[in-house]
Amino acid sequence: MNIPGSGLAKGLAVTLRTLTRRTQTVQYPDAQPELAPRTRGVIGLFEENCTVCMLCARECPDWCIYIDSHKETVPPAAPGGRERSRNVLDRFAIDFALCMYCGICIEVCPFDALFWSPEFEYAETDILDLTHERDRLREWMWTVPEPPALDPAAEEPKEIAAARKTAEKMAAAQAARETNEANEANEANEANEANEANEANEANEANEANEAKGDGA
């Protein structure tokens, strides 16, 4: 079945069918785009988690993260203890004119201080304004969405698996302890019951004896 020209007709049918379908165009300024989950729009900083370990700045391929800090000494927690030094963040800035949105900084951060936010409307007329300082990066933090739910058949996340294992272990330990205790308790109960019975008997006997005494009096 190869009629000459059928390919040409097929082409015409494809374009005509597309004509009748909805267009793909998103009229962006009028309508917001539907962004994919984990969209890489801008990087937010949760500075409470930052320990100024500098991993992000060092791993950044185009060196667009600027971090300044100083050390402070903290008096010993307990009297007689050693003084501790602590890093204090002075400046944390990301130059989005340089950033190539690779996300390595977010990957390497061991303390979950950096997050992707889907916000993308931060174009500026001056390139210097594309360097977002600490406070601006913190504002982006509030636009970070919840992580999307995992696929139904997805592997369990490592940290949850680890937590669950620990919890199960603890639960098992607890359960084991409880059974032990229960056994012990049973034995104790039996002993108690025996005691109580004895005591009751004794008491009865005593009462009876008393009554007898009273009758006798």
| Positions in the binding site for another protein (CB under 8 A) | 8, 11-12, 14-16, 18-19, 21, 23-25, 27
> Of the two residues 15 and 73, which places its CB atom closer to another protein in the complex?
15
> Of the two residues 23 and 85, which places its CB atom closer to another protein in the complex?
23
Q: What are phi and psi of 117, to 5 degrees?
A: -120, 145
Query: Strands (DSSP E) along 11-117, which ranges?
Result: 42-45, 65-74, 84-95, 114-117
CA of residue 16 relative to chain centroid, distance = 50
Which of 25, 151, 133, 149 is closest to 89 using CA atoms? 133
Please, are residues 91 and 67 in contact by the beta-carbon 8 Å criterion? yes
CB of 60: closest distance to another protein in angstroms? 38
CB of 127: closest distance to another protein in angstroms? 28
CB of 70: closest distance to another protein in angstroms? 53
CB of 12: closest distance to another protein in angstroms? 5
- CA–CA distance, 89 with 95 (Å, rounded to integer): 17
CB of 28: closest distance to another protein in angstroms? 11
Please, are residues 41 and 117 in contact by the beta-carbon 8 Å criterion? yes
